Amino acid sequence: MRELVRAYQAYAVYSQTHIRELGLTPAQFDVIATLGNTDGMTMGEVADKTLVTKGTLTGIIDRLEQKNLVRREVPEGNRRCFMLILTPEGEQVFEEVFPTHIAHLKERFEQLTPDEMQQLQSLLKKLRGLFE
């Protein structure tokens, strides 16, 4: 069990360090990656699809708005909620940063053989199923 935790921690440090080098916090990256290639989502949808709590999400969205990467838009006919949408600048950041980060992670995962990757995926799915 300890090795699983250590592996996750090493992965998180490796990933988060690169994200910070790209000029974003891990939470900002998570939101931009979630909104990328969509027409927008509600705050609840973004919270459900990210690792960010709803309480924390408001501050993240505020900072992304200040950077002009995200905008809030009230949908026609439903004034009780608003949509989070990437601005053109946000789309540009997504198009530059997301593939760069995926390539960065891929460099490490490519050190595993296809069989090792398949075994890892299979075991992680099984492990997740034990706790869901």
- Is residue 101 in some structural domain? no
Q: What is the CATH number of the domain that holds 43?
A: 1.10.10.10
- Is residue 59 in some structural domain? yes
- Is residue 60 in some structural domain? yes
Residues 43, 108 contacting (CB under 8 angstroms): no
Q: Which two tokens stand for residue 79?
A: 């004034």
- Is residue 127 in some structural domain? no
Domain holding 84, by residue range, is 27-94
- Is residue 45 in some structural domain? yes
Count of domains forming the chain: 1
By CB neighbour count within 10 A (0-12 exposed, 13-18 middle, 19+ buried), where does 49 fall? Answer: middle
- Is residue 20 in some structural domain? no
pLDDT reported for residue 55: 84
Measured in Å, how far apart are the chain's first and last C-alpha atoms? 17
Q: Which two tokens stand for residue 55?
A: 């309480």
- Is residue 83 in some structural domain? yes
3-state secondary structure of 2: helix
- Is residue 15 in some structural domain? no
pLDDT reported for residue 79: 72
Residue ranges of the chain whose pLDDT lies below 50: none
